[in-house]
Structure 1
Amino acid sequence: MSSGNVGLRERKRQRMYQAVSDIAIGLFLEKGFDAVSVAEVAAAAEISKPTLFRYFPTKEDLVLHRFADHEDEPARVVTGATAPVAALRRHFLDGLERCDPVTGLNDRPEVLAFHSLLYGTPALVARLYGYQERSEAALAGALGGGLETRLAAGQIIAVQRILALENWRRIAAGEPVAEVRTDAVSAAERAFGVLEAGLPYRAGPPERHTPEMR
């Protein structure tokens, strides 16, 4: 099969993912996550339940599909970087400047509604941890592997999650983006500064120290 055909097939597959996810999220926002069955989503998308489950293994994945593209984003950012934490800090600050929904600093009604659905549904919050664990694993691999980098990756992903959640909570409470942004940038600078000072590693495997002979 030609590469053009493979590319077309993948684009069609991605369009199907997006279309079904959008339909499901619309139903969940209208009726509530627990009130909508997978069969109802399949019927609305005009596909069979088995077909739906081929694309989305669980009901929760219908919502969390929107995070799929971001799962290995930290790993992509640090790949080839000589100062990984600094690269991640720049990336997060750039996201704040763009009001990227992933940073929590976005007041579009549809974004606020999506985050309210996500954080207000225990099953979705629980499933989200699986995405975060895979993100940590990918980041640790990009940093060189080993226990030290796994610990570092866990701290980095936690910082990003907490910063974004705080931004979303303030926006959801009615604070203007312009007011939250200043604090959000300051908090990100401080948090990544602490990470940079406290994570004594560089891209690549941690150094092995030979005990001194006495």
Structure 2
Amino acid sequence: MSEPDGLRARKKAQTRGAIADAAITLFLARGFEQVSVSDIAATAEVSKPTLFRYFATKEDLVLHRFADHNGEAARVVRARRPDVPPMTALHRHFRAGLDRFEPVTGLNDHPQVVEFHRLVFNTPSLAGRLTQYLLDDEEALAAALGPGIGARLQAAQVIAVQRVLARNNWQKIADGRPAREVRPEAVVDADRAFAQLSRAAGDS
């Protein structure tokens, strides 16, 4: 008798999580280039074909955490109330992420999160793959904002602003400052950046 769909889905999620955790642990300990896919498969106790069923590339073993946020900006724009301008909705969403110290905002001082971002930013193949994720986000956001070059330009600006804000927050923490100390500056920077975006978009 076959397994119920819910149980099968949970097992798949557990396997995917085990593979990803094994990969991140090895990458942080040894460096991305020094760890092979075979090393990861052995640590996770799966075969290489199984690993590649869950993650198409070695880079995806790291960047799946960013992939979980793919299309997030577009979803925020689509889910907003009709009386809320797109830039206002995006600003509120980013501020909420800062309030929760979400890793994607860069404002998180858990040692593994800090080292995870260092790994991504300092490994060329990972940084290049991350750029593709950002371009996908930009495309989705442009579609949510509407047709025409104006929407594409706005989307490019939003994704760039979020990237710069997150990288700036991470750098301050990587330099040794706690997230709670950095947070007021992160909020000011976000408010300033999104105010400029709103003016450019004609939202204010």
- Give CA deviations for 1:19-45 in whole Å, capped at 9, x if unaligned: 111100100111111001111111111
Q: Which position in structure 1 is the counterpart of 2:119? A: 117
Larger Rg: 1
How much identity, in percent, do the aligned residues show?
Answer: 56
Distance 1:166 1:16 in 2: 34
Q: Does 1:142 align with 2:144?
A: yes
Q: Does 1:101 align with 2:100?
A: no
Match of 1:126 among 122, 125, 128: 128
Distance 1:153 1:101 in 2: 22
Number of residue pairs matched by the alignment: 198
Q: Does the residue aligned with 2:33 lie in a helix, a strand or coil?
A: helix
TM-score (norm 1): 0.87
Q: Which position in structure 2 is the counterpart of 1:168? A: 170
Q: Which position in structure 1 is the counterpart of 2:153? A: 151
Q: Does the residue aligned with 1:64 lie in a helix, a strand or coil?
A: helix
Q: Which runs of 5+ in 2 are unaligned?
A: none
The range that moved more, 95-104 or 77-86, is 77-86
TM-score (norm 2): 0.91
C-alpha deviation, 1:7, in angstroms: 4.2
C-alpha deviation, 1:161, in angstroms: 0.6
Which ranges of 4 or more aligned residues in structure 1 deviate by more than 6 Å?
A: none
Distance 1:146 1:15 in 2: 42
C-alpha deviation, 1:56, in angstroms: 1.0
**Structure 1 residues 79, 169: CA separation in 2 closer, same or farther (over 3 Å shift)?**
same
What's the RMSD between the two structures over aligned residues?
1.6
Q: Which runs of 5+ in 1 are unaligned?
A: 202-214
Q: Does 1:178 align with 2:177?
A: no
Q: Which AA in structure 2 matches 1:62?
A: L
- Give CA deviations for 1:61-110 in whole Å, capped at 9, x if unaligned: 00001112101111111114231110110111111111111111111111
C-alpha deviation, 1:50, in angstroms: 1.6
